[in-house]
């Protein structure tokens, strides 16, 4: 028989669980409700479900195109990232130790900005070839779209590859080095151990690519995500739009459980591996060349878009003009991004401490299964009522759109960071000081601070470029910088658009870059293997 | 013969090894003692080719394997075995596959013969198909030793390999290693700071203090 719990004890337990319970409710309101309401609408209109269950031949073709394109992008990203990450992690030079982070900062640059830059680059190349009296057969548009999406999503797989390889226990590689050559050590030990993490990165890229409409629509590539947008624009209603999107949702629901299993095992700080870092034995021959080529390709995919944008802007006055003209949109975007980053980071901080098991990880990542534009549609259904009019017409809608999209990223980032902190450290502090202010300030803040700041900055940067969900919820007169850029893009590339893209890129990259620079001394201790030398 | 000549090594401003020299012949046992953090592990890693030295040479059976900061012979060509402080078993391989990884150059028959012998000698036969996560810490240490012995090294480097084992298990595994030394096929360089292990191992005793090696 279980001992009876006193009323006082129940009160203490209830009070301790209150913040977490509120966070679960808030998570449900922001992230879960838009999805559930769409399923609810579908249940009320079975004919819409029937319509989706039997897609015609054209839609099947679109779905096939989407899957093939997403697989091509994910494969290209992983294939480039793996050797590039291996090369970057072997860098020991102090200056390069900072540079290896640069590709990761590009994660904040939206795909349509990459698209504009590469379109201008190819245009310039064609012009140059024509000037020289040469001409090349133009590449197919789908290939260009794959190229651009690869460039846009590469930082994601690069980050996962670097984390996967850096988290290898160096002793396991050293043990293998005693018996086999460096090539075999890489393929049979390091790669096998890092593969789950690397594949998680590939899985995320697949999901992002399969649901992206911005790049395919700019290159006139027929994919399923564009069809969803077309369907919604034709005014068939939310239920029918969601029904059309169900195949993409089903793909997401199939992939997310695999990703959540992978994410649950990623840890950022390999403290338990002792003092030995990755040894720097040379890998000779073709693999070393492959690593070098991959690393240079990664840098090219980063440097070219930025260089093209700078060249396209031309005179600094053009940039200043664009900033002045888009001033309202800039301020509005920054306010939206700040609001989303604060809300989502606080939510993640409160929620994640209790959500370490696999089921919670699955629940956190589930929103990734739903294409972003549908999240926007779901938010419209949830908040477009008389009682919530103060939300519907306000800045809160874009904030909710970004929050709903990026809350899983903030939670996953914070979770992965939290997993690297030994519970012993927290328990010792609580034994000595309880859960008071001193424990929070002297122990929790320094330990969890970098994770909180990282989650905040990632959401802030991503929210600045958020387009698909914002496109759905933004009311006339509400224009974010991303919306302004995307609308102008359809009128063709111009120096004004390039200037706005450059501004968006700078705004997105600056906080992440600053954070990386600011966190370097701490990184040197905790991420020592990333720098390829003994710590 | 394994010869170490004038090895020096610094980490930043901290010099951990200063002009260290030693010799180890097959059939010979040498125990290296010293307090924690004195550089014993670093010396073993330099001998194995897993760490670069700042100066000095490592010569194995007349062939220079390390000269200064240059590793002339990679670790897998040094005919050395190394048992680390941690078992360092590959988590994606079974016990049998962990051991067989050390003998990929042998044909199938020779491999299975060697595996069977080592599993028997270390008492690991019932655990051959288990993964490292499914065995105890003591059993993992036995697998690590079996894997090292499988490669039939000429010189065995052991870096406090049994520090957390119970006395009986420690004794059994040390005896197993010593059996290979006594038949003259292997030299043993054993690092410890445990007096009971030092007595069990015997042989020459060297003391590493302040980066300098002296006879104990």
CATH number of the domain that A295 lies in? 1.10.3720.10
B76·A179 Cβ contact <8 A = yes
pTM (predicted TM-score): 0.82
A179·B102 Cβ contact <8 A = yes
Read off the pLDDT of each residue in B6-20 and give the average, rounded to a whole number: 88
Measured in angstroms, the CA of A164 and the nearest CA of chain B are apart by 15
The parent domain of residue A319 ranges over: 55-518
Q: Which residues of B touch A171 (CB under 8 A)?
A: 84, 86, 88
Per-residue pLDDT tens over the stretch B57-93? 999 999 999 998 888 888 888 889 999 988 889 988 9
Residue A242: CA atoms inside 13 Å, Cβ hemisphere, count?
28
CA distance A117 to A494: 11
Interface test with A, best of B60, B75, B94, B155 (most A CBs within 10 A): B75
Burial A227-254 (b: 16+ CB within 10 A, else e): bbbebbeeeeebbbbbbbbbbbbebbee
Q: Considering only residues A517 and B190, tell me which one the structure prediction assigns the higher pLDDT.
A: B190
Residue A211 near residue A225, CB atoms below 8 Å? yes
Measured in angstroms, the CA of A76 and the nearest CA of chain B are apart by 26
A274·B50 Cβ contact <8 A = no
Q: Is B74 on the interface with A (CB under 8 A)?
A: yes
Residue B140 near residue B132, CB atoms below 8 Å? yes
CA distance A131 to A134: 7
**Number of folded domains that form chain A:** 1
Is residue A534 one of the residues assigned to a domain? no
Please state at what angle helix A111-131 crosses helix A141-166, rounded to 10 degrees: 120
Pairing of strands B29-33, B14-24: unpaired
Pairing of strands B187-192, B155-159: parallel
Q: Which residues of B touch A172 (CB under 8 A)?
A: 88, 90-91
For B98, counting Cβ atoms within 10 Å of its Cβ (0-12 exposed, 13-18 middle, 19+ buried), the class is buried
Nearest CA in chain B to A274: B86
- Enclosing H/E stretch for A288: helix A285-313
Is residue A289 one of the residues assigned to a domain? yes
Is residue A47 one of the residues assigned to a domain? no
CA distance A283 to A288: 6
Question: What does the pLDDT profile of chain A (535 residues) look like in tens digits?
Answer: 555 667 777 777 777 778 888 888 888 888 888 888 888 888 887 777 776 667 788 888 999 999 999 999 999 999 999 888 888 877 655 555 556 666 777 777 888 888 888 888 888 888 888 888 887 777 889 999 999 999 999 988 998 888 888 877 888 888 998 898 888 888 899 889 888 889 989 999 999 999 888 899 888 899 998 888 888 888 777 888 888 888 888 898 898 888 887 776 676 554 433 333 444 455 556 777 888 888 888 888 888 888 888 888 888 888 888 888 878 888 899 999 999 999 999 988 888 765 556 777 788 888 888 888 888 888 888 888 878 777 887 888 999 999 998 998 888 888 877 877 777 777 777 777 777 777 788 888 888 888 888 889 889 988 988 888 888 888 877 788 888 888 887 776 577 788 888 888 888 778 777 766 655 544 433 333 333 333 2
Is residue A229 one of the residues assigned to a domain? yes
CA distance B192 to B33: 5
Nearest CA in chain A to B78: A178
Residues 6+ apart with CB under 8 A from A47: none
Is residue A11 one of the residues assigned to a domain? no
CA distances in angstroms from A255 to A38, A191, A293, A367, B195, listed in the order given? 20, 22, 31, 12, 56
pLDDT above 90 (res B11): no
Q: Is B82 on the interface with A (CB under 8 A)?
A: yes
Q: Is A525 on the interface with B (CB under 8 A)?
A: no
A534·B90 Cβ contact <8 A = no
Q: Is A274 on the interface with B (CB under 8 A)?
A: yes
A169·B71 Cβ contact <8 A = no
Q: Is B50 on the interface with A (CB under 8 A)?
A: yes
CA distance A167 to A520: 18
Is residue A17 one of the residues assigned to a domain? no
CA distance B27 to A100: 49
Neighbours of A278 (CB within 10 A): 23
A171·B50 Cβ contact <8 A = no
CA distances in angstroms from B166 to A426, B122, B138, B196, B202, listed in the order given? 31, 15, 8, 12, 19
Q: In A106-229, at which residue ranges do the beta strands (DSSP E only) sit?
A: none
Measured in angstroms, the CA of A176 and the nearest CA of chain B are apart by 8
Q: Which residues of B touch A193 (CB under 8 A)?
A: 90-92
Lowest-confidence range among A105-109, B11-15, B33-37? A105-109
Residue A481 near residue A441, CB atoms below 8 Å? no
Is residue A99 one of the residues assigned to a domain? yes
Is residue A18 one of the residues assigned to a domain? no
Report the residue from B11, B75, B86 with minimal CB separation from A178: B75
């Amino acid at each position: 028989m279980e001992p009876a719990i006193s009323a006082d004890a129940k009160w203490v337990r209830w009070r301790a669980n209150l913040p977490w319970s509120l966070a679960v409710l808030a998570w449900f309101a922001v992230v879960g409700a838009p999805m559930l309401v769409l399923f609810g609408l579908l249940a009320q209109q079975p004919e819409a479900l029937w319509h989706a269950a039997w897609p015609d031949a054209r839609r099947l073709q679109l779905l096939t195109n989407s899957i093939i394109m997403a697989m091509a992008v994910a494969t290209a990203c992983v294939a480039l990232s793996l050797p590039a990450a291996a090369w970057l992690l072997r860098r020991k030079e102090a200056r390069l130790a900072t540079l290896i982070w640069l590709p990761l900062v590009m994660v904040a640059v939206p795909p349509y900005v990459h698209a504009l830059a590469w379109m201008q680059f190819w245009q310039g190349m064609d012009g140059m070839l024509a000037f020289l009296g040469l001409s090349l057969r133009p590449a197919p548009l789908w290939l260009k779209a794959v190229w651009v999406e690869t460039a846009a999503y590469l930082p994601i797989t690069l980050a996962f590859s670097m984390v996967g390889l850096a988290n290898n226990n160096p002793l396991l590689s050293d043990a293998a080095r005693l018996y086999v050559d460096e090539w075999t050590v890489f393929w049979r030990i390091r790669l096998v151990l890092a593969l789950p993490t690397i594949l998680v990165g590939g899985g995320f890229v697949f999901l992002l690519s399969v649901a992206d409409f911005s790049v395919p629509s700019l290159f006139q590539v027929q994919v399923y995500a564009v069809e969803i947008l077309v369907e919604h624009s034709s005014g068939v209603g939310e239920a029918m739009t969601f029904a059309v999107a169900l195949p993409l949702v089903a793909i997401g629901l199939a992939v997310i459980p695999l990703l959540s299993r992978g994410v649950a095992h990623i840890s950022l700080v390999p403290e338990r591996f002792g003092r030995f870092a990755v040894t720097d034995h040379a890998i000779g021959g073709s693999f070393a060349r492959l690593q070098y080529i991959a690393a240079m390709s990664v840098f090219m995919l980063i440097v070219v878009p930025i260089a093209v944008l700078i060249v396209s802007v031309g005179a600094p006055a053009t940039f200043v003009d664009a900033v002045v003209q888009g001033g309202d949109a800039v301020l509005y975007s920054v306010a939206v991004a700040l609001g989303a980053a604060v809300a989502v980071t606080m939510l993640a901080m409160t929620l994640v401490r209790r959500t370490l098991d696999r089921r919670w990880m699955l629940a956190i990542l589930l929103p990734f299964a739903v294409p972003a534009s549908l999240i926007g549609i779901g938010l419209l259904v949830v908040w477009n009522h008389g009682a919530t009019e103060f939300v519907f017409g306000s800045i809160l809608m874009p904030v909710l759109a970004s929050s709903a999209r990026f809350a899983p990223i903030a939670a996953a980032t914070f979770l992965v960071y939290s997993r690297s902190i030994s519970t012993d450290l927290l328990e010792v502090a609580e034994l000595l000081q309880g859960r008071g202010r001193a424990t929070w300030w002297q122990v929790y803040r320094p330990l969890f601070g970098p994770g909180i700041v990282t989650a905040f900055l990632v959401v802030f940067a991503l929210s600045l470029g958020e387009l698909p969900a914002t496109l759905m919820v933004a009311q006339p007169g509400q224009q974010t910088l991303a919306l302004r850029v995307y609308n102008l893009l359809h009128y063709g590339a111009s120096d004004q658009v390039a200037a706005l893209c450059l501004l968006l890129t700078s705004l997105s990259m600056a906080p992440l870059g600053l954070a990386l620079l600011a966190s370097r001394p701490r990184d040197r201790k905790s991420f020592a293997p990333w720098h390829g030398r003994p710590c | 013969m394994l010869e170490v000549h004038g090895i020096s090594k610094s980490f930043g401003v901290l010099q951990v090894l200063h002009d260290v020299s030693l010799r180890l012949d097959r059939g010979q046992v040498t125990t290296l003692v010293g307090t924690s953090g004195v550089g014993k592990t670093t010396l073993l890693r330099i001998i194995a080719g897993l760490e670069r030295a700042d100066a000095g040479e490592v010569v194995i059976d007349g062939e220079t394997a390390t000269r200064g900061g240059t590793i002339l012979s990679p670790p897998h060509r040094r005919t050395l075995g190394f048992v680390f402080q941690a078992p360092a078993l590959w988590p994606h391989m079974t016990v049998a596959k962990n051991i067989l990884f050390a003998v990929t150059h042998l044909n199938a028959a020779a491999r299975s013969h060697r595996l069977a012998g080592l599993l028997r000698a270390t008492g690991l036969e019932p655990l051959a198909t288990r993964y490292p996560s499914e065995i105890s810490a003591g059993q993992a240490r036995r697998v690590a030793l079996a894997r090292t012995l499988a490669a039939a090294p000429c010189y065995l480097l052991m870096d406090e390999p049994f520090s957390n084992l119970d006395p009986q298990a420690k004794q059994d595994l040390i005896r197993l290693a010593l059996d290979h030394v006594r038949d003259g096929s292997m030299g043993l360089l054993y690092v410890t700071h445990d007096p009971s292990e030092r007595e069990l191992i015997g042989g020459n005793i060297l003391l590493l203090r302040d980066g300098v090696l002296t006879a104990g």
